[in-house]
Structure 1
């Protein structure tokens, strides 16, 4: 096996600890996210040595479905789940994570399916390397991915500019002549830069997160973008965790209960959401 780079080794270490701590022994349904870190999550599940024959794995996109199948696990599409099915756990990565465990996701263009899987799970666990951990979103990662209907893309771009986004743009496919990138839903992705997002604590301390000069509190911006006609989903994962949603009579939450970060020295740091 080829020697892993320090970043890949960090992802593998984080995935191993996250799976060891949160994979239920009698799991029936497990959400499997998208992205480079999730390769190591599936690897860690296989290394647990538990019986996976009765477990169904729910992918968040084409890439994660192939990963599940190639590992000899059973994949089931989200829309094929029996009515009322609740996932025992969902594992996924992130493009950036803030101090409150709010996330930016969608760099891999699977944000809609990633969100519906997280919302159907008792607990959502984030796995990443240390580069993704920042005190506020839009610090290292500079834009919010937004999945939009192609027919409404120009309208959404206009609305985002009105909200303070600086030069939002439709994401192009890898080969420019192919035009805009298409998601698994055949939608477009708009990448929308904004100033660094505020936390509720920042607003409580007197900062204005209502959108003036494009400065937003994380939940307020997510909700404002979601209300634009033509937007399918927003790449901000915030609000309730799974346990908080269940306490309120729901199922799952967008925000993870814990995030695991592989550090450059080989250690793993865990951040847990406040109860």
Structure 2
């Protein structure tokens, strides 16, 4: 289902709900996409995917040029960014060097792989986020790749975020309820958990694997803690303080790193948020 079609269906449902007339039914050509004047989970998922695509295409079109070294992350939205980069390869012949967080995806699209040894400074990095607040502070790491993704973002001249409307928040924790991911050395996960909970409050849990026994293990052979914080914090100070705890490798707080965020919206538009001027 296209985003425009979803919006049309939503308007029809709203009109029906507000009406005092006899029970409303959609035209038969549309009824397969609804469930008793509601929308199926698949329709909502399709809308979110359309929004991701809009954000990714817009970000690539406005930030990638010829002869650039481009870093990409590994989130679900990156699929659309790589797709657009492959289209540009055919249309504009840009010389793109992409980092291997999405290695197989990149190779399938015929794009060139590189690394930070050959390109220690990237022209632009594009990645998704689990949540973005009004100051462009991010929570990342839902997929467990926060350290490598932060290295890419930190070594780029311009870091651009792409996301759908569900990731757009005024403050962190408004939409994302799973907490801040923190990568830790395995032997230190218990003392690190205790220190974070004592110093900052909230709840710290070791992330457990779903399809296998035991905890999630990162690409760096470490564990992931998920810190469910209770209150809005000074994220810059918290990020620095947590990183100073012995055994912490990296946090999923990306503070003062993103330059712009592109959000695919429910109405088919793309909202762009720029970082506040320092």
Classify the TM-score, shorter chain: 0.7 to 0.9
Contact 1:35–1:108 under 8 Å retained in 2: yes
Deviations 1:78-127 (A, max 9, x none): 3x335xx3101000000000101010000010000010100110000000
Contact 2:134–2:169 under 8 Å retained in 1: yes
1:47 aligns with 2:64: no
Shift of 1:274: 2.3
Counterpart Cα distance in 1 of 2:272 and 2:134: 12
Counterpart Cα distance in 2 of 1:50 and 1:135: 37
1:236 aligns with 2:272: no
The two structures have a TM-score, normalised by structure 1, of 0.81
Instruction: Choose which of 53, 59, 63 in structure 2 pairs with 1:22.
Output: 63
Secondary structure of the residue aligned to 2:86 is helix
1:155 aligns with 2:191: yes
Root-mean-square deviation (CA), in Å? 1.8
1:168 aligns with 2:204: yes
Shift of 1:25: 2.0
Instruction: Choose which of 261, 265, 268 in structure 2 pairs with 1:266.
Output: 268
Counterpart Cα distance in 2 of 1:37 and 1:108: 12
Shift of 1:256: 1.1
Matches within 5 A, 1:72-91: 72-78=110-116, 80-81=117-118, 85-91=120-126
Counterpart Cα distance in 1 of 2:207 and 2:248: 15
Residues 159 and 13 of structure 1, relative CA distance in 2, 3 Å threshold = same
* Structure 1 residue runs of 4 or more that deviate by more than 6 Å after TM superposition: 1-4
Instruction: Choose which of 163, 168, 171 in structure 2 pairs with 1:128.
Output: 163
Higher share of residues assigned helix? 2
Instruction: Choose which of 224, 248, 268 in structure 1 pairs with 2:241.
Output: 224
Which segments of 5 or more consecutive residues in structure 2 lack a partner in the other structure? 3-42
Secondary structure of the residue aligned to 2:99 is strand
Contact 1:137–1:196 under 8 Å retained in 2: no
Which segments of 5 or more consecutive residues in structure 1 lack a partner in the other structure? 198-215, 240-254
Shift of 1:166: 2.3
* Higher Cα Rg, which structure: 2
Instruction: Choose which of 176, 182, 201 in structure 1 pairs with 2:217.
Output: 182
Tell me the equivalent position of 2:132.
97
1:58 aligns with 2:60: no
Counterpart Cα distance in 2 of 1:131 and 1:196: 20
Contact 2:66–2:96 under 8 Å retained in 1: no
Shift of 1:265: 1.1
Tell me the equivalent position of 2:52.
11
